[in-house]
């Protein structure tokens, strides 16, 4: 029976919602946690199986990705930063943060990144339909899924402070850690 002394957190949301900014700032405030940008991790660990030209994005081999992440997740202390969450086993995850953003703000952010109009439209539509929030609630216990707005620096700071408090409470509530087993 294996256990971990630190929680694993997913920060997810539509591209442009601030996942990486949140994860980076959280890792700075909670140095016990390690930020894993899944897109970079997948490239560095040979988990890319191709390119989707129409979407201008890499195709991740999810099985390879999970195999590469499992030893890290079993130790705990991860902030997993990616645009989807449903592939990660529920037993790994203690908190799922779904960042949301006003569509106008999101559109402007994606446009500044140089996204094609089709990619901007697809992502804004995904945000409007709350696809990632629905995905999180369907794949994890709703008690560990929180939705946080991410439209400006003040929201970023407030969100990171809130998650830092959650992290401190989690450690206090689980001094012996939690089991990695079902």
Binding residue numbers for ATP: 16, 18-21, 113
Tokens of 94: 């203690």
DSSP 3-state helix, strand, coil percentages of the chain (rounded to 5)? 50, 20, 30
Angle at 56 between CA 52 and CA 61, to 5 degrees: 40
Known binding-site positions: 16, 18-21, 113
**For residue 98, with 0-12 CB atoms within 10 Å meaning exposed, 13-18 middle and 19 or more buried, which class applies?**
buried
Contact 148, 162 (CB under 8 A): yes
């Amino acid at each position: 029976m294996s256990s971990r002394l630190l929680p694993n957190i997913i920060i997810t949301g539509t591209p442009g919602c601030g996942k990486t900014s949140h994860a980076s700032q959280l890792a700075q405030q909670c140095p016990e946690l390690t930020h894993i940008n899944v897109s970079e991790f997948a490239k560095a660990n040979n988990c890319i199986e191709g390119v989707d030209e129409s979407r201008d994005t890499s195709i991740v081999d999810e099985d390879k990705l999970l195999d590469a992440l499992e030893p890290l997740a079993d130790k705990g202390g991860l902030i997993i930063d990616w645009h989807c969450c449903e592939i990660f086993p529920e037993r790994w995850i203690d908190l799922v943060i779904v960042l949301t953003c006003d569509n106008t703000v999101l559109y402007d952010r994606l446009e500044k990144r140089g996204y094609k109009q089709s990619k901007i439209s697809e992502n804004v539509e995904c945000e409007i339909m709350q696809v990632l929030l629905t995905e999180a609630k369907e794949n994890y216990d709703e008690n560990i899924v929180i939705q946080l707005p991410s439209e400006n620096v003040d929201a970023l700071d407030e969100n990171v402070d809130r998650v830092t408090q959650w992290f401190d409470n989690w450690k206090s509530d689980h001094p012996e850690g939690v089991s990695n087993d079902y």
